[in-house]
Protein backbone atom coordinates (compact mmCIF):
# COMPACT_ATOMS: atom_id res chain seq x y z
CA UNK A 1 0.00 0.00 0.00
CA UNK A 2 1.41 3.40 -0.98
CA UNK A 3 1.75 6.16 1.57
CA UNK A 4 -0.94 8.05 -0.33
CA UNK A 5 -3.42 5.26 0.35
CA UNK A 6 -2.39 4.25 3.86
CA UNK A 7 -5.52 5.95 5.29
CA UNK A 8 -7.45 2.79 4.37
CA UNK A 9 -5.99 0.93 7.31
CA UNK A 10 -6.69 3.74 9.80
CA UNK A 11 -9.77 4.27 11.95
CA UNK A 12 -12.04 7.20 10.95
CA UNK A 13 -10.71 9.53 13.63
CA UNK A 14 -7.33 9.42 11.90
CA UNK A 15 -8.71 10.20 8.43
CA UNK A 16 -9.06 13.81 7.28
CA UNK A 17 -11.90 14.43 4.82
CA UNK A 18 -12.62 17.72 3.07
CA UNK A 19 -16.20 18.21 1.87
CA UNK A 20 -16.80 20.72 -0.92
CA UNK A 21 -20.35 21.91 -1.50
CA UNK A 22 -20.87 21.39 2.22
CA UNK A 23 -23.77 23.83 2.53
CA UNK A 24 -25.72 22.39 -0.40
CA UNK A 25 -28.77 20.18 -0.15
CA UNK A 26 -26.83 16.90 -0.06
CA UNK A 27 -23.56 18.31 1.29
CA UNK A 28 -25.11 19.22 4.64
CA UNK A 29 -26.13 15.61 5.21
CA UNK A 30 -22.77 14.28 4.06
CA UNK A 31 -20.96 16.47 6.60
CA UNK A 32 -23.26 15.29 9.39
CA UNK A 33 -22.87 11.63 8.43
CA UNK A 34 -19.08 11.85 8.30
CA UNK A 35 -18.96 13.60 11.68
CA UNK A 36 -21.23 10.92 13.15
CA UNK A 37 -18.84 8.25 11.85
CA UNK A 38 -15.91 9.93 13.59
CA UNK A 39 -13.95 11.33 10.63
CA UNK A 40 -11.93 14.54 10.86
CA UNK A 41 -14.26 16.65 8.72
CA UNK A 42 -13.44 19.94 7.03
CA UNK A 43 -16.55 21.61 5.64
CA UNK A 44 -15.56 24.07 2.89
CA UNK A 45 -18.03 26.90 2.34
CA UNK A 46 -18.42 30.28 0.70
CA UNK A 47 -18.45 33.46 2.78
CA UNK A 48 -22.19 33.70 2.07
CA UNK A 49 -23.75 30.28 1.64
CA UNK A 50 -27.08 28.68 0.93
CA UNK A 51 -29.85 29.69 -1.48
CA UNK A 52 -29.22 33.27 -2.54
CA UNK A 53 -26.29 33.53 -0.11
CA UNK A 54 -28.58 33.87 2.89
CA UNK A 55 -26.35 32.09 5.42
CA UNK A 56 -23.64 34.01 7.27
CA UNK A 57 -20.34 32.57 8.49
CA UNK A 58 -21.67 32.17 12.02
CA UNK A 59 -24.80 30.39 10.81
CA UNK A 60 -22.76 27.96 8.72
CA UNK A 61 -20.46 27.17 11.64
CA UNK A 62 -23.48 26.59 13.89
CA UNK A 63 -24.93 24.17 11.31
CA UNK A 64 -21.89 21.89 11.48
CA UNK A 65 -21.15 20.86 15.07
CA UNK A 66 -18.18 18.49 15.16
CA UNK A 67 -16.78 19.70 11.84
CA UNK A 68 -14.19 22.37 11.18
CA UNK A 69 -15.56 24.97 8.79
CA UNK A 70 -13.23 26.67 6.34
CA UNK A 71 -14.30 29.54 4.10
CA UNK A 72 -13.04 30.12 0.59
CA UNK A 73 -13.79 30.20 -3.12
CA UNK A 74 -13.90 27.01 -5.20
CA UNK A 75 -13.30 29.04 -8.36
CA UNK A 76 -9.91 30.17 -6.96
CA UNK A 77 -7.24 27.43 -6.74
CA UNK A 78 -5.13 29.51 -4.34
CA UNK A 79 -8.06 29.83 -1.95
CA UNK A 80 -8.65 26.07 -2.02
CA UNK A 81 -4.98 25.31 -1.41
CA UNK A 82 -4.72 27.75 1.50
CA UNK A 83 -7.98 26.97 3.26
CA UNK A 84 -8.77 23.33 2.48
CA UNK A 85 -5.38 21.72 2.03
CA UNK A 86 -3.11 23.49 4.50
CA UNK A 87 -2.73 20.10 6.25
CA UNK A 88 -2.24 16.57 4.90
CA UNK A 89 -5.64 15.35 3.67
CA UNK A 90 -6.75 11.83 2.81
CA UNK A 91 -10.12 12.12 1.11
CA UNK A 92 -12.14 14.69 -0.82
CA UNK A 93 -15.92 14.47 -1.07
CA UNK A 94 -17.36 16.82 -3.67
CA UNK A 95 -21.04 17.73 -3.58
CA UNK A 96 -20.50 20.75 -5.82
CA UNK A 97 -23.22 21.41 -8.38
CA UNK A 98 -24.47 24.30 -10.43
CA UNK A 99 -27.49 25.82 -8.71
CA UNK A 100 -29.16 26.90 -11.93
CA UNK A 101 -28.13 24.37 -14.56
CA UNK A 102 -27.37 27.24 -16.93
CA UNK A 103 -24.64 26.74 -19.52
CA UNK A 104 -22.01 29.07 -18.11
CA UNK A 105 -22.72 28.16 -14.50
CA UNK A 106 -22.60 24.42 -15.26
CA UNK A 107 -19.13 24.58 -16.80
CA UNK A 108 -17.93 27.00 -14.10
CA UNK A 109 -19.01 24.77 -11.19
CA UNK A 110 -19.66 21.20 -12.36
CA UNK A 111 -16.41 21.19 -14.30
CA UNK A 112 -13.94 24.03 -13.64
CA UNK A 113 -14.50 24.52 -9.89
CA UNK A 114 -14.69 20.77 -9.28
CA UNK A 115 -11.49 20.37 -11.28
CA UNK A 116 -9.86 22.93 -8.98
CA UNK A 117 -10.72 20.84 -5.92
CA UNK A 118 -9.30 17.75 -7.61
CA UNK A 119 -6.06 19.41 -8.76
CA UNK A 120 -5.35 21.07 -5.44
CA UNK A 121 -6.25 17.95 -3.52
CA UNK A 122 -4.05 15.79 -5.70
CA UNK A 123 -1.15 18.17 -5.13
CA UNK A 124 -1.78 17.87 -1.39
CA UNK A 125 -1.56 14.08 -1.50
CA UNK A 126 -5.28 13.20 -1.40
CA UNK A 127 -5.72 9.46 -1.95
CA UNK A 128 -9.42 9.13 -2.76
CA UNK A 129 -12.04 11.38 -4.37
CA UNK A 130 -15.77 10.79 -3.88
CA UNK A 131 -17.82 12.64 -6.50
CA UNK A 132 -21.54 13.33 -6.34
CA UNK A 133 -22.58 13.14 -9.98
CA UNK A 134 -26.04 12.30 -11.41
CA UNK A 135 -27.57 9.26 -13.09
CA UNK A 136 -28.83 11.39 -15.97
CA UNK A 137 -25.31 11.84 -17.36
CA UNK A 138 -25.87 8.49 -19.10
CA UNK A 139 -27.76 10.37 -21.83
CA UNK A 140 -25.96 13.73 -21.92
CA UNK A 141 -28.23 16.18 -23.75
CA UNK A 142 -27.81 19.10 -21.32
CA UNK A 143 -24.82 21.28 -20.53
CA UNK A 144 -24.58 20.37 -16.86
CA UNK A 145 -24.53 16.68 -17.80
CA UNK A 146 -21.71 17.26 -20.30
CA UNK A 147 -19.77 19.26 -17.71
CA UNK A 148 -20.14 16.50 -15.10
CA UNK A 149 -19.07 13.84 -17.59
CA UNK A 150 -15.99 15.84 -18.55
CA UNK A 151 -14.87 15.88 -14.93
CA UNK A 152 -15.73 12.22 -14.40
CA UNK A 153 -13.31 11.44 -17.25
CA UNK A 154 -10.51 13.26 -15.41
CA UNK A 155 -11.03 11.11 -12.32
CA UNK A 156 -11.19 7.90 -14.33
CA UNK A 157 -7.93 8.72 -16.11
CA UNK A 158 -5.99 9.19 -12.85
CA UNK A 159 -4.03 6.04 -12.09
CA UNK A 160 -2.76 7.23 -8.71
CA UNK A 161 -5.74 8.83 -6.96
CA UNK A 162 -8.66 6.42 -6.59
CA UNK A 163 -12.27 7.54 -6.95
CA UNK A 164 -15.92 6.71 -6.37
CA UNK A 165 -18.35 8.33 -8.81
CA UNK A 166 -21.81 8.33 -7.25
CA UNK A 167 -24.74 8.75 -9.64
CA UNK A 168 -27.98 9.02 -7.66
CA UNK A 169 -31.48 8.94 -9.09
CA UNK A 170 -34.01 11.63 -8.16
CA UNK A 171 -33.83 13.27 -4.73
CA UNK A 172 -36.96 13.49 -2.61
CA UNK A 173 -36.91 17.30 -2.79
CA UNK A 174 -37.02 17.27 -6.60
CA UNK A 175 -40.28 15.29 -6.41
CA UNK A 176 -41.81 17.56 -3.77
CA UNK A 177 -42.32 20.68 -5.88
CA UNK A 178 -46.10 20.15 -6.16
CA UNK A 179 -46.85 19.36 -2.51
CA UNK A 180 -48.08 22.82 -1.57
CA UNK A 181 -50.13 23.40 -4.74
CA UNK A 182 -51.87 20.02 -4.31
CA UNK A 183 -52.43 20.73 -0.62
CA UNK A 184 -54.27 23.91 -1.66
CA UNK A 185 -56.51 22.03 -4.06
CA UNK A 186 -54.51 22.26 -7.27
CA UNK A 187 -54.04 19.31 -9.63
CA UNK A 188 -50.94 17.16 -9.84
CA UNK A 189 -49.41 18.06 -13.19
CA UNK A 190 -47.69 15.35 -15.22
CA UNK A 191 -46.75 14.76 -18.83
CA UNK A 192 -47.84 12.05 -21.23
CA UNK A 193 -50.20 10.39 -18.79
CA UNK A 194 -47.54 10.27 -16.11
CA UNK A 195 -45.92 7.12 -17.48
CA UNK A 196 -43.08 8.55 -19.58
CA UNK A 197 -40.47 8.60 -16.81
CA UNK A 198 -39.81 6.67 -13.61
CA UNK A 199 -37.24 6.76 -10.84
CA UNK A 200 -36.16 5.16 -7.58
CA UNK A 201 -35.99 8.29 -5.41
CA UNK A 202 -33.41 8.38 -2.63
CA UNK A 203 -33.44 10.49 0.53
CA UNK A 204 -30.68 12.94 1.29
CA UNK A 205 -29.77 11.01 4.46
CA UNK A 206 -29.54 7.64 2.70
CA UNK A 207 -27.47 9.17 -0.10
CA UNK A 208 -25.12 10.71 2.47
CA UNK A 209 -24.68 7.31 4.09
CA UNK A 210 -23.89 5.72 0.73
CA UNK A 211 -21.31 8.39 -0.05
CA UNK A 212 -19.71 7.94 3.36
CA UNK A 213 -19.48 4.20 2.69
CA UNK A 214 -17.32 4.99 -0.36
CA UNK A 215 -14.41 6.14 1.81
CA UNK A 216 -13.50 2.72 3.22
CA UNK A 217 -15.53 0.23 1.13
CA UNK A 218 -13.07 -1.36 -1.31
CA UNK A 219 -15.91 -2.57 -3.56
CA UNK A 220 -16.83 1.04 -4.29
CA UNK A 221 -13.29 2.09 -5.26
CA UNK A 222 -12.67 3.13 -8.88
CA UNK A 223 -16.31 2.51 -9.69
CA UNK A 224 -19.20 4.38 -11.27
CA UNK A 225 -22.02 3.82 -8.80
CA UNK A 226 -25.62 4.40 -9.87
CA UNK A 227 -27.82 4.35 -6.78
CA UNK A 228 -31.49 4.65 -5.93
CA UNK A 229 -33.61 4.36 -2.85
CA UNK A 230 -35.53 1.31 -1.59
CA UNK A 231 -38.55 -0.16 -3.30
CA UNK A 232 -39.72 -0.32 -6.91
CA UNK A 233 -39.35 2.40 -9.51
CA UNK A 234 -42.21 4.92 -9.43
CA UNK A 235 -43.77 6.69 -12.38
CA UNK A 236 -44.92 10.30 -12.14
CA UNK A 237 -48.52 9.10 -11.93
CA UNK A 238 -47.68 6.76 -9.06
CA UNK A 239 -45.89 9.59 -7.28
CA UNK A 240 -48.98 11.78 -7.65
CA UNK A 241 -51.28 9.08 -6.31
CA UNK A 242 -48.94 8.62 -3.36
CA UNK A 243 -48.94 12.36 -2.66
CA UNK A 244 -52.74 12.61 -2.58
CA UNK A 245 -52.91 9.64 -0.20
CA UNK A 246 -50.48 11.39 2.11
CA UNK A 247 -52.50 14.61 1.93
CA UNK A 248 -55.71 12.63 2.48
CA UNK A 249 -57.27 14.35 -0.51
CA UNK A 250 -59.08 13.02 -3.59
CA UNK A 251 -56.83 12.67 -6.62
CA UNK A 252 -56.75 15.54 -9.12
CA UNK A 253 -54.47 14.66 -12.01
CA UNK A 254 -53.71 16.88 -14.98
CA UNK A 255 -51.89 15.23 -17.87
CA UNK A 256 -50.19 17.54 -20.35
CA UNK A 257 -48.90 16.35 -23.76
CA UNK A 258 -45.10 16.41 -23.77
CA UNK A 259 -45.22 17.88 -27.27
CA UNK A 260 -46.51 21.14 -25.82
CA UNK A 261 -43.01 21.75 -24.47
CA UNK A 262 -41.34 21.35 -27.85
CA UNK A 263 -42.56 24.48 -29.63
CA UNK A 264 -41.52 26.97 -26.89
CA UNK A 265 -38.11 25.26 -26.62
CA UNK A 266 -37.62 25.48 -30.39
CA UNK A 267 -38.52 29.19 -30.34
CA UNK A 268 -36.12 29.86 -27.47
CA UNK A 269 -33.34 27.96 -29.22
CA UNK A 270 -33.84 30.05 -32.36
CA UNK A 271 -33.89 33.30 -30.41
CA UNK A 272 -30.79 32.29 -28.45
CA UNK A 273 -28.81 32.13 -31.69
CA UNK A 274 -29.57 35.81 -32.19
CA UNK A 275 -29.70 36.90 -28.55
CA UNK A 276 -27.11 34.85 -26.59
CA UNK A 277 -28.36 36.35 -23.35
CA UNK A 278 -31.33 34.00 -23.37
CA UNK A 279 -29.23 30.85 -23.79
CA UNK A 280 -29.93 29.85 -20.20
CA UNK A 281 -33.68 30.32 -20.63
CA UNK A 282 -33.58 27.90 -23.55
CA UNK A 283 -31.48 25.50 -21.48
CA UNK A 284 -33.99 25.61 -18.61
CA UNK A 285 -36.70 24.59 -21.07
CA UNK A 286 -34.62 21.62 -22.19
CA UNK A 287 -33.97 20.65 -18.58
CA UNK A 288 -37.69 20.64 -17.84
CA UNK A 289 -38.45 18.48 -20.87
CA UNK A 290 -35.62 16.08 -20.06
CA UNK A 291 -36.90 15.38 -16.55
CA UNK A 292 -40.47 15.06 -17.82
CA UNK A 293 -39.56 12.43 -20.40
CA UNK A 294 -36.41 10.58 -19.25
CA UNK A 295 -36.32 8.07 -16.41
CA UNK A 296 -33.76 8.44 -13.64
CA UNK A 297 -32.74 4.78 -13.87
CA UNK A 298 -29.82 2.81 -15.25
CA UNK A 299 -29.74 3.02 -19.05
CA UNK A 300 -29.23 -0.27 -20.87
CA UNK A 301 -27.22 0.75 -23.92
CA UNK A 302 -27.61 -2.60 -25.67
CA UNK A 303 -31.39 -2.73 -25.30
CA UNK A 304 -31.79 1.06 -25.59
CA UNK A 305 -34.08 1.32 -22.60
CA UNK A 306 -34.08 2.16 -18.90
CA UNK A 307 -33.79 -0.78 -16.52
CA UNK A 308 -35.33 -0.48 -13.07
CA UNK A 309 -34.06 -3.91 -12.03
CA UNK A 310 -30.48 -2.92 -12.88
CA UNK A 311 -30.75 0.25 -10.77
CA UNK A 312 -29.31 -0.58 -7.32
CA UNK A 313 -31.38 0.22 -4.24
CA UNK A 314 -29.99 1.49 -0.95
CA UNK A 315 -31.27 2.73 2.37
CA UNK A 316 -34.55 2.64 4.24
CA UNK A 317 -36.26 6.00 3.64
CA UNK A 318 -39.18 5.89 1.20
CA UNK A 319 -40.89 8.59 -0.85
CA UNK A 320 -44.16 7.66 0.84
CA UNK A 321 -42.64 8.49 4.23
CA UNK A 322 -41.33 11.77 2.84
CA UNK A 323 -44.76 12.78 1.47
CA UNK A 324 -46.40 11.85 4.78
CA UNK A 325 -43.88 14.01 6.64
CA UNK A 326 -44.24 17.07 4.42
CA UNK A 327 -48.03 16.63 4.48
CA UNK A 328 -47.79 17.12 8.25
CA UNK A 329 -44.95 19.62 8.46
CA UNK A 330 -44.78 21.38 5.10
CA UNK A 331 -41.75 21.81 2.84
CA UNK A 332 -39.62 23.84 5.25
CA UNK A 333 -35.94 23.02 4.72
CA UNK A 334 -36.61 21.62 1.24
CA UNK A 335 -35.41 24.63 -0.77
CA UNK A 336 -35.57 23.74 -4.45
CA UNK A 337 -32.59 25.89 -5.41
CA UNK A 338 -32.20 29.03 -7.47
CA UNK A 339 -33.96 27.40 -10.44
CA UNK A 340 -37.48 26.18 -9.81
CA UNK A 341 -36.99 23.49 -12.45
CA UNK A 342 -35.16 21.45 -9.86
Average pLDDT for residues 2-30, to the nearest whole number? 90
Model pLDDT, residue 3: 57
CATH number at residue 104: 3.40.50.720
The answer to whether residue 180 sits within a structural domain is: no
Residue 71 host element (H or E): strand 68-71
Model pLDDT, residue 114: 98
Cα–Cα distances (Å) from 114 to 61, 225, 268, in that order, read: 23, 18, 30
b/e sequence 263-301, b meaning 16+ C-beta within 10 Å: eebeebeeebeeeeeebbebbbbbbbbbbbebbbbbbee
Return the closest-CA partner of residue 223 out of 176, 165, 266: 165
As a whole number of angstroms, the distance between CA 211 and CA 200 comes to 17
The answer to whether residue 340 sits within a structural domain is: no
Residue 336 reports pLDDT greater than 50: no
User: Who contacts 262 (Cβ-Cβ below 8 Å, separation ≥6)?
Assistant: 289
Do residues 163 and 128 lie in contact, with contact meaning Cβ atoms separated by under 8 Å? yes
Return the closest-CA partner of residue 322 out of 247, 217, 232, 260: 247
Q: Mean pLDDT of all residues in the chain?
A: 91
The answer to whether residue 293 sits within a structural domain is: no
Residue 108 reports pLDDT greater than 80: yes
pLDDT tens column, 110-154? 999 999 999 999 999 999 999 999 999 999 999 999 999 999 999
Rg (CA), the chain: 20
**Number of domains observed in the structure of the chain:** 1
The answer to whether residue 194 sits within a structural domain is: no
Phi, psi of 139 (to 5 degrees): -125, 80
Model pLDDT, residue 341: 35
Q: How confident is the model at residue 260 (pLDDT cuts 50, 70, 90)?
A: confident
Q: How confident is the model at residue 338 (pLDDT cuts 50, 70, 90)?
A: very low
The answer to whether residue 232 sits within a structural domain is: no
Return the closest-CA partner of residue 173 out of 20, 29, 37: 29
pLDDT tens column, 77-90? 999 999 999 999 99
As a whole number of angstroms, the distance between CA 291 and CA 285 comes to 10
Return the closest-CA partner of residue 120 out of 178, 79, 66: 79
DSSP 82: H
Q: How confident is the model at residue 283 (pLDDT cuts 50, 70, 90)?
A: confident
pLDDT tens column, 166-210? 999 999 988 888 999 999 999 999 999 999 999 999 999 999 999
Model pLDDT, residue 330: 81
The answer to whether residue 287 sits within a structural domain is: no
Strands 188-191 and 253-256: parallel
Calculate ∠ Cα 154-155-160, nearest 5°.
Answer: 115
The answer to whether residue 76 sits within a structural domain is: yes
The answer to whether residue 110 sits within a structural domain is: yes
Model pLDDT, residue 96: 96
Model pLDDT, residue 337: 45
Question: Domain of 79?
Answer: 3-170+202-227
Percent of the residues in the chain that have a pLDDT greater than 90, as a whole number: 75
Model pLDDT, residue 169: 95
Amino acid sequence: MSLRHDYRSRPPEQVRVVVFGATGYIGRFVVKELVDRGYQVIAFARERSGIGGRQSRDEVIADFPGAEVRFGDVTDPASIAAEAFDQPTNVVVSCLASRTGGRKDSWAIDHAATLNTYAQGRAAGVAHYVLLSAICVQKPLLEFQKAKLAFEAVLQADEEMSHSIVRPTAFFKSLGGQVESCRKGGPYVMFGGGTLASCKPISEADLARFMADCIHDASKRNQVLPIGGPGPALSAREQGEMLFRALNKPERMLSVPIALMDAPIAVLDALARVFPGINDTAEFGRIGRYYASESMLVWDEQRQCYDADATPSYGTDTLEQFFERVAREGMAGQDLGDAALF
